[in-house]
Structure 1
């Protein structure tokens, strides 16, 4: 190759490189607009825009890493899924999917339909949710057993309002926001059968007088009444 041709090729490459760099700089402008789409029941666009603002501040349209940005935005508690795309010339489009709360979890969290906890503050939790609790990581187990008990007790017209899994594995539940039932750790189905029989035979007519029901006995059902305790067998 002649020396002149080589120099021309080098100049062409440099020009293309300079042009590409100039084009990149021209396209890579600061992000000026954020667009949000999705169906929301508990959060609103103002809340989401306020939470998104710190993540896009100082970022530019082409340089921003969308995968990393998605990972960071996904940490917003009320979001279950996040999709992000670029929109010409300087906007990002966020497709956001809201968490679907199905239960309270302690004082500061809600559970989604998978039994995964998420913090609800600074928003208020929805009203009318069952109140569940258990050791860390037990959300799916407690939620699944709540669904089982709810179906099991439905024929008795009992509304299950609270369910607790204690650290040592014992269960206790509350229905109608009033009566507690100590279910214990073992023989749960047999104990529920005894509750079923006692409820149909007598207890349903005296629910307003019951403090708690203890099923942790080999035979019979212990009932603590307001003012006294007796055994119903």
Structure 2
């Protein structure tokens, strides 16, 4: 038989059972998250950079080997002797290199160091070619049988790299090249009026010049008013000397008011060897 439920005592209140409080998670602000990320970012970037470097060290050589240097083209070099010298210089620098690894700066420096090279330009041409453009020095004379003189007036070595038979030969004191070149250009312009060119110029320490013309005639002139004396010779040659049937050998222009003319000995027997005019 079931027992009857107990009735609460009069005046008593039944309290509800307490539920366990929910566990509160610690609050995290956006500022804190950003601060943590900013502290970790350098390490993440450093790790990424290291990974990239390690990957490059492993795979880059294989990638570069797939772009070999196929050809080196040299433009602007007109003589086979100079072309050979350039190719020999380049061969030591491109040996074992590929299209990307070859140093353009090194190529530029080595070729520019050649005495007969005035300007150099080096560039890559995709996919596997190097193009080298060279501007050569243009020789206009031979100096003391040792050097060439460029059109700019600069001396340079390279006698064995040019055909010099047609170039005038200049000689004089080693430090007087500029003055000798000035003589040569000025005298050439004056003599061109009568169709004569200069084959050789020899200048001594006092700047007295002995010229050998392309017709074999020798002129001697000192630096005092040399242009005036040459023009006087040009006038006499045009009116008298050129028409004479005797062989003109030598003319000394060092006189203030005239010149001494020497005729060749293989002409008329009655001609005098020298005549002052």
TM-score normalised by length of structure 1: 0.76
User: What SS does the corresponding residue of 1:202 show, helix, strand or coil?
Assistant: helix
Residues 58 and 118 (structure 1), Cα distance of their counterparts in 2 relative to 1, 3 Å cut: farther
Deviation at 1:167, TM superposition (A): 3.6
Provide the aligned length of Structure 1 versus Structure 2: 233
Q: If each structure's strand is expressed as a fraction of its own residues, which one has the higher value?
A: 1
Query: Pairwise CA RMSD of aligned residues?
Result: 3.5
Q: Which has the larger radius of gyration?
A: 2
User: Counterpart in 2 of 1:129?
Assistant: 167
Of 79, 92, 114, 1:42 maps to 79
Deviation at 1:190, TM superposition (A): 2.4
Of 7, 18, 30, 2:54 maps to 18
* Residue 151 of structure 1 pairs with residue 189 of structure 2: yes
Of 248, 251, 275, 1:210 maps to 248
Deviations 1:79-135 (A, max 9, x none): 222111234566532112233233333424333221223333443514423333344
Structure 2 unmatched runs, 5+: 1-35, 266-271
Structure 1 unmatched runs, 5+: none
Conserved in 1, the CA contact under 8 Å of 2:187 and 2:230? no
1 or 2 for the larger relative contact order (CA 8 Å, sep ≥6)? 1
The whole-number CA distance in structure 2 between the counterparts of 1:196 and 1:220 is: 13
Conserved in 2, the CA contact under 8 Å of 1:39 and 1:97? yes
User: Counterpart in 1 of 2:235?
Assistant: 197
Residues 131 and 207 (structure 1), Cα distance of their counterparts in 2 relative to 1, 3 Å cut: farther
Conserved in 1, the CA contact under 8 Å of 2:73 and 2:129? no
Conserved in 2, the CA contact under 8 Å of 1:104 and 1:111? yes
The whole-number CA distance in structure 2 between the counterparts of 1:34 and 1:109 is: 34
The whole-number CA distance in structure 2 between the counterparts of 1:147 and 1:162 is: 12
Describe how 1:1-233 pairs up with structure 2 within 5 A: 1=36, 7-22=43-58, 25=61, 32-43=69-80, 45-57=83-95, 65-87=103-125, 91-136=129-174, 138-206=176-244, 209-226=247-264, 229-233=273-277
Q: Which deviates the most, 79-88 or 174-183? A: 79-88
